[in-house]
Amino acid sequence: MKVSSGMAIPCMLKPSGNRLFWHSMHGSSVKNSLSSSSSRLCSFSCDAFTELEHKNWQRGVGAYATGFGPLTSQAVPTLLEKVGFPARKGEARTDGVNCSLVDVACGPGQVLSAAISKAKSAPLEEGACSYTALDFSSNFLQLAETNLQSEHPGTPITFVEGDAQDMTATLGDSEQFTSVTSNFGILHLSDPDSFLKEGFRVLKPGGRLAFSAWSAPPNTEAFDLILGAVKDAGNPNVLLPEGPPFFRFSDPVEIQRSLEEAGFVDVDVTVVESMKWTNVSTSEELYEIMLEGTARTRELLRGQTKEETNAVREELKRRFEERVLVVGGKDADDNNGAATTTKRRPLRMPAVVSSGRKPLRSEAKQRDSKYFELK
C-alpha cells in the first residue's frame, strides 16, 4: 500500500439496533424518473440508518451545497488523479478502449463537472467519454442535473437514482466503467463494504476506484470543535440507528484491508492536507451548517435539550474563537507599539483519498494460477 501525507421513502425497515452517537462517530438521460420517485416504495432494502441518512439528504441539499460544497470540492482533483481520469492516449489501463466514469453519491455534481472539464482539455483515447451520476437522493440528483446542464450544456450524462450498496438493479451489467468515484459518499452508507464490492464489480479490468473521507479529529478541526463542545457542554449520548464508525476510513490499515478484501490491488492512501474551510468564519455559521447540512451530526445536535443546546453553542463559540484567532504584529496606528492585530484563519479540514485498481484479466489469471499451485 502506498500512503501519502433507488429512493427510500416510505421505507420498509429491517431490524436494527441503536447506537450512542459518540461511539458511532468515533443534454442528459435519466433512469428511474425523478419526478415520480417520491410516490414509490424504496427499490432497495433499507435499514433504519439508511432511512435517517436519506431523510436528511433529501432535506439538506441546499445547506450542504452552499456550506460544505466549497470545502468538499477541494478533494475532487485528487480523486480524479487517483482514478486516472481521463486516460490519455497511449496509456493502457483497462481491457478494451473506453473512458467511462460513474460518480456514486454524486451530491451536487462536483466530481462530474471537474471530470468533464478535464476531459475536454485532455488528449483522450479513441471513443467519447461517458458520465453517470448515481445518488439515492432524488433532490440531490435534480440539483446535480441543474448544475451540470448549466456548466456543461450538451454533454450527455446519465442520472441514476439508486443504492450505492447494490447497483445491480440500476446500473446492471458488470465491467462497465473505467473509473468509479465517491466524494465523501462512503460516510453515509450502512454497509460500506458492499459499495466497495459493487464498485469492483462494475469496473472494467484495470479500472480504478477512489473515494474520499474525513481525517479523524483533531486533524479535522470543525469536527473536533463541534464534537468536543457537545461532549463537554451537552449530551454526547444521543441514541441513533446502528451505523458504521464515521471516521473508519481515516485509518490506512483499515482502508487497505477493506479495499483488498473487495479485490483491489495497488491500494493508495493520500491525505489532502491543504483543505481548508474558507467559507466558515464564525461559530454560528459552523453550527448552522452542521445542523442543516449533515445527517448524523444533525441528529446529535437535534437530540440536545434547549438548555444543552445553549450551552453547546456557547462552548463552541469559545473554542472556535480560541482556535481560529491568530495574533498578528503591532498595530501600525498604535503610538506605543503595544497593541496587536488579530485575524481569523480558516479551519483545517484534511481529507483522506483512498484508491485501488481492479486487476487486468491477465493478472487475475496469474494470481489464480499461483493460488492453485500453492494448494
Per residue in 240-286, pLDDT (tens digit) is 999 999 999 999 999 999 999 999 999 999 999 999 999 999 999 99
Least confident of 61-70, 167-176, 327-336: 327-336
Asked whether residue 346 carries a pLDDT value surpassing 50, the answer given is yes
User: Can you tell me the distance from the alpha carbon of 353 to that of 249, in angstroms, rounded to the nearest whole number?
Assistant: 9
**Does 11 score more than 70 pLDDT?**
no
The whole-angstrom separation of Cα 291 and Cα 302 is 8
pLDDT at 45: 55
Q: Report pLDDT for 5.
A: 58
9 band by pLDDT with thresholds 50, 70 and 90: very low
Read off the pLDDT of each residue in 208-228 and give the average, rounded to a whole number.
98
SS3 label, residue 160: strand
C-alpha distances in Å from residue 256, one per residue of 260, 331, 353: 6, 51, 12
HSE, side-chain direction, 13 A CA sphere, residue 39:
3
* Verdict on whether the full-model pTM lies above 0.75: yes
Q: Is the pLDDT of residue 18 over 80?
A: no
Pick from 43-52, 184-193, 229-238, 327-336: least confident: 327-336
Residue 38 has what pLDDT?
37
Cα distances (Å, whole numbers) of residue 247 to 121, 123, 251, 351: 36, 38, 8, 11
Q: Which domains does the chain have, with CATH numbers?
A: 2-304+346-374 (3.40.50.150)
How confident is the model at residue 120, as a pLDDT? 87
CB count within 10 Å of CB 307 equals 9
Coil, strand, or helix at residue 80?
helix
Among candidates 315, 132, 110, 353, which has minimal Cα distance to 230? 315
Mean pLDDT of 109-137: 86
Does residue 237 sit in helix, strand or coil? coil
Provide the mean pLDDT of the chain: 85
Q: How much is the pLDDT for 127?
A: 44
pLDDT: which is higher, 355 or 90: 355
